[in-house]
Structure 1
Amino acid sequence: MTPVPPRSILVIVIGFALWGAAFVTLYAVNAIGCAFGWPPALQRGVIVGLAVAASGTMIAVTVWSAGHWRKAANAGRPAPSLARIGALGSAAALGATIFVFVPSVFVSMCV
């Protein structure tokens, strides 16, 4: 049995780790904008820009994870299932990103 390098585990968690960081950043910026009284147009623009940047990053991570999965399967590397789990996890994180960030475009900024 060939040992699996510890860095292979990062493929599994990278999608939701980035999603969590983007989620915290988006809502922290929203809270800061509300606390400092940013104009609504500026605040909405910043929030939409962060949502688009996070979605783009998640798309890139999902494409990278899928490519990693293909390479691992074709090369016969140890535990290609880790790459598959990472690709599917990144796709799920992309779905979560879209599900959570789309409402930020439409809802009231400061309640």
Structure 2
Amino acid sequence: MRLNYAENSKVIKALADSNRLQIIDILSCGEKCACDILEYFDFTQPTLSHHMKVLMECGIVNCRKDGLWSYYSLNVAYCNKLMLFLMNLITDTDECICKDKTKCECK
């Protein structure tokens, strides 16, 4: 199995924003309505919508509609997949990119 660097780099890029990391932290406590998430920030609803769109497009966050309200939750399966990728990335495994090359015999 090959590590998917391109797919995961998009997710990591989406997480490279302190507001989005805070949103992930908030959602780690369970599903939240957009209005509840917005209470933690000093920005507008359209800005929150942008952040949520980025997080949903990369697969980290799910959204469900209930009438006029949007409820957000973490996509736990995808978060676990990302964590596994990160663990494989920093651990010497059979999936390591250097395993494709013969060992350097430099002296």
TM-score normalised over the length of structure 1? 0.27
Relative contact order (alpha carbons < 8 A, sep ≥ 6): 1 or 2 greater?
1
Give the structure with the higher percent strand: 2
Give the structure with the higher percent helix: 1
